Structure 1
Amino acid sequence: MTLNEKTQANDMLASADILIVAEQENPRTLLRVASERLSTVRYVFVVAIEDGIAGVEERSALEYSDAVLIGWPDNDANDVQDAQNIENVAELVMELEKRIVVFHEAELNGGTARMADTLIHISEYVARVRKAYQPDFLLPTYAEIRRYVQRQWDEEEQLRAGEEAADNANSSENSNNQAETDTTNGTEKNNI
């Protein structure tokens, strides 16, 4: 292990210890932190993809993050409890933070595909943090959401193809009508 790797490992242990202490002093802090981090990353992703047409992967990543955030409980909600294993939750938050670094690098490089992939992983970690505090929370699976978004995408593509075909047919019909009008007008001029 290099000196840099040892330093990074020590920094991570210190950060995990800080998270554990924060949670012990103020229970459910990590629940709030996780939701805030995902909300922020989700917003950055929306801004990154808003200028183009979001593909299936981008839409799926966004829908997955939405599914994790929807109905996010207040810290004092009846179905929220203190985490049973604070160390595990702190580790999840540390992994979440590592993924946020990867997300930020992808953002700087303009890589929306990598941002989407990383958003999926961030959402997974946040869902697991939420589950630690809200055991009855049904974890959505990315695969289910991806299939749903793919079906929506396919339906939209079929509609677009149908609209394009109708537009092409109308355009062709209008061209034929214009050609007939031009021919008729030319004949009338010749008769005068």
Structure 2
Amino acid sequence: MTQVAVNEALARDRGIDLDDPKLALRVAAERLSTVRYVFLVQIEDGIATAAQRASLEYADAVLIGWPENDAPDVVDLDEQQQAQVAEHMRVMEDHIRKYAAMERDGDIDGMTDTLIRITERVAEIRRLYQPDFLLPTFAEIRRVVQQEWDEDMGKIDPKEPDPTAEQIEEQTEDADKQQRQIAEHAEQANRSGQPEQAGQQHAGHHGEHHGDKA
């Protein structure tokens, strides 16, 4: 009983009406905001992976423009919907307990995945209370973030593309052609008995060849 009284006093101090049928809407937002902040602190010292970015941005997308309980587009729920909200809240809290254990263990990958699970439950709660507000799915967020992450990594660590089989074949043919030309000039020089002139002609031709490639 003492614990309940303390919680009620804390709720009153924060201006929370425990009899408000839309209380879960406010609690869900606050819980997600807290776990999102914890996650941000865990990853801020390094370069976030695409999965970490997507998990964080999904939470941001679900929290953006979070409505007040008395907003005109926030609806009253029937008993069945209230039961659904209660189940989403229960599962959310189960995930948060696991999330806290992962934080203590330094399990960033586990936290990344669990933040998604928490966010999914909060998104379902918001959909029930605010059915006309369109929320993105995690798959949509992940697709966009992956593209952005690939582009960012390309800027940080650019790599020359590997040559294709066709390009390798062309390079080989060019090298063979050059060798044939050198051999032909040498043979002509030997037949004419003018090695010096032939050498000059070859040098000139070889210089032109490289000039063309440059």
Q: TM-score, normalised by structure 1?
A: 0.71
Is 1:100 aligned to 2:100, yes or no? no
* Secondary structure, counterpart of 1:25 in structure 2: coil
- The residue aligned with 1:51 is 45
Return structure 1 stretches of 4+ with deviation > 4 angstroms. Answer: none
The 1:127–1:121 alpha-carbon spacing in structure 2 relative to 1, beyond 3 Å, is same
CA contact (8 A) 1:31 1:129 kept: yes
Give RMSD over aligned pairs. 1.8
* Secondary structure, counterpart of 2:157 in structure 1: helix
The 1:83–1:130 alpha-carbon spacing in structure 2 relative to 1, beyond 3 Å, is same
Is 1:63 aligned to 2:57, yes or no? yes
Q: Distance in 2 between matches of 1:43 and 1:72?
A: 16
- CA deviations 1:111-169 (Å, max 9, x no partner) are 1110010000000000000011001121311111101010001111111134x88xxxx
CA contact (8 A) 1:23 1:86 kept: no
Say which structure, 1 or 2, has more relative contact order (CA 8 Å, 6+ apart): 1
Amino acid at match of 1:107: E
- The residue aligned with 1:130 is 126
Q: Determine which of 139, 142, 158 is the counterpart of 1:146.
A: 142
* Secondary structure, counterpart of 2:68 in structure 1: coil
Cα drift, residue 27 of structure 1: 1.7
Q: Determine which of 26, 32, 36 is the counterpart of 1:32.
A: 26
Q: TM-score, normalised by structure 2?
A: 0.64
Q: Distance in 2 between matches of 1:43 and 1:130?
A: 20
Larger radius of gyration: 2
Mind listing any 5+ residue stretches in structure 2 that lack a counterpart?
1-15, 161-214
Is 1:112 aligned to 2:108, yes or no? yes
Q: Distance in 1 between matches of 2:18 and 2:77?
A: 10
Percent of aligned pairs with the same amino acid: 53
Cα drift, residue 51 of structure 1: 1.4
Q: Distance in 1 between matches of 2:121 and 2:32?
A: 9
Mind listing any 5+ residue stretches in structure 1 that lack a counterpart?
1-21, 166-192
Cα drift, residue 24 of structure 1: 8.5
Q: What is the number of equivalent residue pairs in this alignment?
A: 143
CA contact (8 A) 1:23 1:30 kept: no
Is 1:72 aligned to 2:66, yes or no? yes
CA contact (8 A) 1:60 1:146 kept: yes
- The residue aligned with 1:190 is none
